[in-house]
Structure 1
Amino acid sequence: MRILQALFFPPEQPGGVSSMIPYLLDEFNTRGCEMEIFSLPKRLRGKGHENVQFTTFDAYKFVGNAIVDKYMQTLKDYIWWSRMRLKQPYDLIHAHHPIAVLALREIYPDTPIVMTIHSAFEKELLLNGRITENGPEHQFLTSLYGELEAKTNQLLTVSNAFKGYLADYVQDSEKIGVIPNGFDEKRFRPMRHENAVPQLITMCRLVPAKGLDTLIYACAELKKRGSKFVLHIIGDGPNREELEKLAIEQGIYDDTIFYGYMLHPEDFMPFFDIFVLPSRAESFGSVYAEAALCLLALVGTNVGGVPEQIEHERNGLLVQPDDPKALCLALEKLILDPVLREKLAHAAWDKARKTYALSRVTRQLQSVYDTYKIQ
């Protein structure tokens, strides 16, 4: 069976689908499946000119808004690049981005397409203050879900919470399958260590949706309460300068290290003690599972798919988003109680190994793929 895994950009970023698909490729290729990865080069811009026919809504009435215009041009570029590079037939296409679905359906009108919806771009834009709810960009992006339903043979997503979110935008949400992301356990090497000062780590794109301003306020309160710590921030993004200024204003800049982008953070993460990410929205939050596989204690927010990974006080701690005091108290609890910290870390590690093993996602996807196998 020849399968194309269609991503958006190349799988270079840590976390989520980018870290999963190359390992998935190895798993399936060893099973005798011909699988390859396709994506759009990051520097390819403005090459495409072919319009797409939308069947469920009038996408072109939204043209003239900067975000929509960029989205549509990227779609045209994806079509242009696909026509340039893809010459062979496939038995199945598994797409991981709406643009990949819309582009490849133009080129392969009769090939079955399965799509995994990994996140909600519109939610990130809303939380980052770039669009307004029910504005033209929001309407365009949410209307795409119905178009994806019409142009795919099967929709999948990564958490039950996100499936519930999609229900408002599709005709039949019951047909959406849920397959959480999987992780190759061999990538993660938990390491016993003793840090004299507890080491906190977070890893994400530096955008408002990830709530790192809340984390900085919480850590400032921690310092006022006498707790010692070092905060390590891995990732880059448009909010970096603002977050660095906030750390200075809150008096914790000397206790904080901004690393920027890191290609293989899983090699680095096992030396820390507590992973914390106070997101304002997460469809799944792959980085929590990755941190768990590094044997870190977890602190997250009660949003989206995070509670499906973190069970409060069983394998981590959950707080409400935008609540620096609650986050401070959760971190303080783990800083002051190393026994609890180790207990929660081991429980999170055990759940991640059992629930998010790459072998599990391989079996689940194999079952989906077999539905379209040519007899």
Structure 2
Amino acid sequence: MNILQALFFPPEQPGGVSSMVPYIQERFIKLGWQMELFSLPKRVRGKGQEEVLFETFDYTEYRGNKIVDKYIQTYRDYVWWTKMRIKKPYDIIHAHHPIAALVMKQLFPDTPLAVTIHSSYERELILNGKIKEGGPEHRFLMSIYGELEAKADQLLTVSESFRSYIGAHVKQPERIKVIPNGFDEKRFKPISHDNAVTQLITVCRLVPAKGLDILLHACAELKRQGHPFVLHIIGDGPIREELEALAVKLDLYDDIIFYGYMLHPEEFMPFFDVFVLPSRAEAFGSVFAEAALCWLALVGTNVGGIAEQIDDGVNGLLVPPEDPAALAAALEKVVTDPTYRYNLARAGWDKAKKVYSLQRVISQLKKVYVQMKPE
């Protein structure tokens, strides 16, 4: 069977699906399957000219809106690039982004199409203050779910909570299958260490949706209580200067290290003690599973896929979003009790190895592909 994995971001893009799919490809090739990757290079912008038509709604009522116009132009660019580059048929196409999925079905209507919806672009934009809930951009992006349902032969997503979210916007939510992300355990190597001061780490894009302002306020409370720590922030983004200013205001600047962007943070994580990320929303939260495989204690918010990964008090700690006091209390537990922290980390590693192994993903995807393959 010859399968095309259609990405949006190039495979070298760090984090999430773009870094996971090449490992899926490697495993399938070892099993004797044919599998290729395809994505839109960053240099391809403003090339496509074809008109875009959707089956389930008329997008032209949203024309003139900056975000919608950019989305449509990206769709055109993906069409242009796909026509330029793909010259042979595939048995199945598995897309990992709505634009990739809809373009592939447009250009190869007879090829069975699976699409994994990995995240909610509209929720991210709302939480980051880019669009308003119920506004034209939001309505346009929500309409895409119905279009995907009409075009895809199999809808997939990465968590039960995100399936529920998508299910409210499609006609047949029971068609959606859940395959949580999987990770090649060979990438993650726990390292025995004993830090004199508890080392906290977070890895994310520096945007409002990740809740790092809440984390800084929680850390300020932790410091007021006299508990020493160092917080390492790996990642970059539009609110970095704002976060640095907040750290100064909260008298935290000497307790925090801002690293900026890092290509392979999993090589760095095993030297720390606690992974913390108080996201305001998260479809899955791959970085939690990655941190667990590095044998870090987990502290996260009770939202989306994070709450499915963490069993509160067993393999990590969950707190409500937007609650610095609750987050500070959770951090106090893991900062002041190394044995408790170790036990959480060990349980997190055990669950991640069992539930989020790449082998489990391969097995589940094989079943999906076999069921989809035309006779």
TM-score, structure 2 as length reference: 0.99
What is the correspondence of 1:270-281 to structure 2 with a 5 Å cutoff?
Answer: 270-281=270-281
51-60 or 94-103, which moves further after superposition?
Answer: 51-60
Q: CA deviation at 1:52?
A: 2.2
Q: Name structure 1 gaps, 5 residues minimum.
A: none
Map Cα deviations across residues 41-88 of structure 1 (whole Å, 9 max, x no partner): 112210001122201111121111100000000010011010011111
Tell me which residue corresponds to 1:2.
Answer: 2
Given that 1:52 and 1:102 are in contact with CA atoms closer than 8 Å, whether structure 2 keeps it comes out as: no
Residue 77 (structure 1) aligns with:
77
Asked if the contact 1:198/1:273 (under 8 Å) is kept, the reply is: yes
1:223-278 CA-partner distances (Å, limit 9, x unpaired): 11111111001111111111111111111111111111111111100000000000
Distance 1:224 1:72 in 2: 50
- My pick for the range that moved more, 312-321 or 41-50, is 41-50
Distance 2:154 2:30 in 1: 25
Deviates more, 1:256-265 or 1:269-278: 256-265
1:240-259 to 2 correspondence within 5 Å?
Answer: 240-259=240-259
The number of residues matched between the two structures is 375
Matches within 5 A, 1:1-375: 1-375=1-375
Question: 1:339 is aligned with what amino acid?
Answer: T
User: What is the identity, as a one-letter code, of the residue corresponding to 1:307?
Assistant: A
Identical amino acids, percent of aligned pairs: 66
**For the residues of structure 1 that align with 2:209 and 2:172, how far apart are their CA atoms?**
29
Deviations 1:131-172 (A, max 9, x none): 111100000001100000001000000000000001111000
- Give the Cα separation in 2 of the matches to 1:372 and 1:146: 20
- In structure 2, what is the Cα distance between the partners aligned to 1:121 and 1:285? 14
The one-letter code of the counterpart of 1:321 is: P
Specify the SS of the correspondent of 2:304: coil
Equivalent pair of 1:91/1:372 in contact (CA under 8 Å): no
Q: CA deviation at 1:196?
A: 0.3
How far the C-alpha of 1:374 sits from its partner, in A, is: 4.3
Paired residues of 2:112 and 2:373 also in contact (CA < 8 A):
no
> Contact 1:51–1:76 (CA<8 Å) still a contact in 2?
yes
Task: Give CA deviations for 1:12-41 in whole Å, capped at 9, x if unaligned.
Answer: 233221221010000001111110110001
Preserved CA contact (<8 Å) 2:266 2:294:
yes
Q: Deviations along 1:276-298, whole A, 9 cap, x unmatched?
A: 00000001100000000000000
* Deviation by residue 1:305-357 (Cα, 9 ceiling, x = unmatched): 11110000000000001111110110011000000000000000000000000
| Unmatched tracts of structure 2, length 5 or more | none
Cα separation, 2, equivalents of 1:66 and 1:241: 25
Q: Alignment partner of 1:311: what SS?
A: coil
